Amino acid sequence: MSELARHFDTLAIIGVGLIGSSLAAAAKANKLASHIVLYDLNPAVRSRVQELGLGDVAETVETAVSGADLIILCTPPATMGAIGAQIGTHIQAGAIVTDVGSVKEAIVQQLRPVLPESCFLIPGHPIAGVEKSGPDAGFATLFEGRWAILTPLADPRPAYQDAVERLTHFWEAMGAKVDCMDPVRHDQVLAMTSHLPHLIAFCVVATAQDVEAVTDSEVVKYSAGGFRDFTRIAASDPTMWRDVFLLNKDAVLDLLGRFSEDLTALRRAIRWGDGDTLFSTFERARTMRREVIEAGQDTAITNFGRDLTASAKAKDDGKSD
């Protein structure tokens, strides 16, 4: 594919949180679009985006997508259908419409009926992010070395396959590794690798607030590494995660049932002093941790990958304020 084909004339980003602002920064840094237009429903966010210089800020979602040849929806999953209906008649023929939602089948069901047949709907999901949100949280290197999953539809048009290839190159140019899969399969896989772990983290942190045997201050003061990591995950955007669990409930409930059975087995092993079962389970889990590191999905640096130098500097900076 030629460099011209990789390049977009106008990139429209709808929703400017962590992912939206990072997309704008990465597209700008890698010169992937001649013109970047951003829109967010919140006027304060639009004002901040203008200050950050991420691109041109549109005052309406309709004007944001008008004339764009790549439209990326970065709003909470439950809002996709309403936004699609709002912009449908303003999308030019041949435009690529994609998203960054953590669920895919429900988003396809929302968008497919309301978008024009002349555009190319290619749902997507970059598996990248941090617990911070908002336009100030974004950075151009967020997607480097991370997976971006595309879930193309069963569209027989030859031009659709060209659009998939073009969108693939767009993500690769930002440093992402791209894979394609069926929307239903995506939701099953992400229910295990992302949705269930987040649900457990939310639950553990909420439980810590409710346990009467210890106070909130003690939990915070004596937080060990495991609990700190749970709080990091639990700091994620509650609106987005509410939508994820409601829209991917079948896959999550299926895995939650299996997890409950396994948790009951461990509870029984602890009660009856079954050390062999405990050791075997922990050893299998430890093996998967090594596999995650070997796959380049995390680092083996001591202290859960935290930069101790940076942490110490942050403390010192805080003391000097």
Q: What is the pTM of this model?
A: 0.84
Give dist(CA 128, CA 148) in Å, integer.
8
Residue 117 DSSP class: T
Say whether 252 sits in a helix, a strand or coil.
helix
With cut-offs at 50, 70 and 90, classify the pLDDT of residue 301. Answer: low
* Dist. CA 214–CA 87, nearest whole Å: 51
pLDDT tier for residue 191 given thresholds of 50, 70 and 90: very high
With pLDDT > 90 as the criterion, what percentage of the chain qualifies?
Answer: 69
Domain positions in the chain are: 7-181, 185-273
d(CA 85, CA 91): 11
- What is the arithmetic mean of pLDDT over 28-35? 95
CA dist 89 and 85 (Å) reads 8
Mean pLDDT for all residues in the chain:
87
The 10s digit of each residue's pLDDT in 267-295 is 999 999 999 999 999 999 888 888 877 77
Q: What fold, for 7-181?
A: Rossmann fold (3.40.50)
- pLDDT, tens digit, for every residue of 71-98? 999 999 999 999 999 999 999 999 999 9
Side chain identity at residue 82, one-letter code: A
Map residue 126 onto helix, strand or coil: strand
Question: What architecture does CATH give domain 185-273?
Answer: Orthogonal Bundle (1.10)
pLDDT at 218 over 80: no
Quick check: 215 pLDDT over 80? Answer: no
The rounded percent of the chain whose pLDDT value lies above 70 is 88
Q: What average pLDDT does range 110-130 have in this prediction?
A: 93
For the segment 214-224, the average pLDDT, to the nearest whole number, is: 71
